[in-house]
Structure 1
């Protein structure tokens, strides 16, 4: 199909505008990365750089040498790994159960699950529940209340519905019960949906922030995002308190390079996980959206 002069002009304008937007979007990420690897003494002399005159890992070494930062990373890793595994387990179990038409009360359960996606209880009821369960200052307070999502359950149910019933019937003829069918037949065929929802859950747990502010008062149990927020708001909390601020002044590491290094550390893990799930992500993200 031949393009007219006006079509070529429109395409040129679109590509130019999208290129400008892309550069504007990419520049903050690039600047954070560059500053995090800039030598502290070089940064103190320039205060602004687009390319390090001298590369350094001092900011990263300092952060990884502080107990506060290591504890925060450990807490976030625990949330992401354990929370994601438990959420996938609960979500897949519930989705498989309500996808079986022989389940008594199935429609009522689906209605109740749907209601959780339409109405939000707010802040006070969940806080009272966590308090009454004696989970304040417990890492489990960041996992159990958000163990599954009604929306994810319904989407995964749609994926399970697309699996031929003949496979389950064949497995039952071979002597499998419901648990065996779920474990040996349903889950292996559901890797795309598990990968997609696993990534969603992992990102949510890794980025846990607001609930940690509500339920966690013990500094040693706070996740990385809370520590990062403290660092970005107040330079004096760069690594968790006045003692860290004294270490910064002694080592002459500017707070800005520490902040940028912390942002990189908080961002990179999810970016590294995504390529391994990419082949499943596109297909899994559409689960339940198309009915065959």
Structure 2
């Protein structure tokens, strides 16, 4: 018994040690990026920064945060994330639910599944998407950032596979009580699918927040840029200032290096996600099926 108890303690200690090590491996790079973002340019370029800032300053953040356009772009990104989460989730659930039915209940199911897989592997390309948005006068609007990815196929398949694992007896009981298909979806499948819905919502949040490419392709007015596209443009503006700016502008720009600016961009991009993730984390560790019946 004593040997067994000792072996158990060693096992627990080993597990905790591995978890702590993995946590440090994940945390230290981010900590280093934060230190770089607050260090002076000469220290960063001289590779003097380790885990603490050298020559603490906030010039990199002032370059990013110190203008009205930043906050305008921030607001655009927030609205984009909210709309994207709602649209992606509603459309993905609406498409996934019918695909959980068998061939007898949903004729043509295999055709739709093949189309989904094909669409996931092959897309229309950038030029057709651009021309379609131009034809519908959606360029330079927030819808150009949302509609091209309104139905993520991966999310649909993820939702479909999860819903197919929900006990059919729940649906049968609801039908016996007089529920129609919409009521079955909203009163049976959605409450049981909270963990996977939270997962696809998190995918939408992260993807929409971090995406700068769509803004670069479909938005030509800087006052309509989402946050990531605007932050990406700051790098280009800094290089233009050094080449063509006034003496005061050049002096200020010389106090922040490209590495400072990139580090600050990473920190600004990560902070909102770090605030949102804990709110959704509980759904990842909750039971998969809520309120299942005993067979």
Counterpart contact for 1:193–1:284, Cα < 8 Å: no
- Greater shift, 184-193 or 271-280, is seen at 271-280
Distance 1:72 1:174, change over 3 A: same
Counterpart contact for 1:231–1:237, Cα < 8 Å: no
User: Does 2:65 align with 1:64?
Assistant: yes
Distance 1:160 1:218, change over 3 A: same
Cα deviations across residues 167-200 of structure 1 (Å, max 9, x unaligned)?
1222233332222221121111001111111111
Other-structure match for 2:78: 77
Distance 1:262 1:224, change over 3 A: same
Q: TM-score, structure 1 length as denominator?
A: 0.75
User: Does 2:276 align with 1:273?
Assistant: yes
Distance 1:249 1:84, change over 3 A: farther
User: Does 2:33 align with 1:32?
Assistant: yes
For 1:179 and 1:94, locate their aligned partners in 2 and report how far apart those are by CA, in whole Å.
Answer: 13
Other-structure match for 1:170: 173
For 2:181 and 2:245, locate their aligned partners in 1 and report how far apart those are by CA, in whole Å.
Answer: 57
Other-structure match for 2:93: 92
Other-structure match for 1:229: 232
- Residue 58 of structure 1 deviates from its aligned partner by 6.0
SS at match of 2:148: helix
- Residue 228 of structure 1 deviates from its aligned partner by 2.1
Q: How does 1:1-292 map to 2 (within 5 A)?
A: 28-38=29-39, 43=40, 46-47=43-44, 48-50=48-50, 51-52=52-53, 59-60=60-61, 63-101=64-102, 102-236=105-239, 254=256, 257-281=260-284
For 1:149 and 1:123, locate their aligned partners in 2 and report how far apart those are by CA, in whole Å.
Answer: 16
- Greater shift, 105-114 or 191-200, is seen at 105-114
For 1:120 and 1:205, locate their aligned partners in 2 and report how far apart those are by CA, in whole Å.
Answer: 19
- Residue 92 of structure 1 deviates from its aligned partner by 0.7
Distance 1:133 1:242, change over 3 A: farther
For 1:119 and 1:280, locate their aligned partners in 2 and report how far apart those are by CA, in whole Å.
Answer: 32
For 1:113 and 1:164, locate their aligned partners in 2 and report how far apart those are by CA, in whole Å.
Answer: 25
Distance 1:197 1:34, change over 3 A: same
Distance 1:30 1:65, change over 3 A: same
Q: How many residues align?
A: 261
For 1:115 and 1:242, locate their aligned partners in 2 and report how far apart those are by CA, in whole Å.
Answer: 50
SS at match of 1:143: helix
Counterpart contact for 2:174–2:184, Cα < 8 Å: yes
Gaps in structure 2 of 5+ consecutive residues: 4-16, 289-295
- Residue 251 of structure 1 deviates from its aligned partner by 9.8
Distance 1:46 1:282, change over 3 A: same
- CA root-mean-square deviation: 3.5
For 2:62 and 2:237, locate their aligned partners in 1 and report how far apart those are by CA, in whole Å.
Answer: 21
Gaps in structure 1 of 5+ consecutive residues: 2-14, 286-292
Other-structure match for 2:7: none
- Residue 255 of structure 1 deviates from its aligned partner by 5.3
Q: TM-score, structure 2 length as denominator?
A: 0.74
Cα deviations across residues 17-63 of structure 1 (Å, max 9, x unaligned)?
xx79x76x76553232013344xxxx267454332367555654664
Counterpart contact for 1:231–1:259, Cα < 8 Å: no
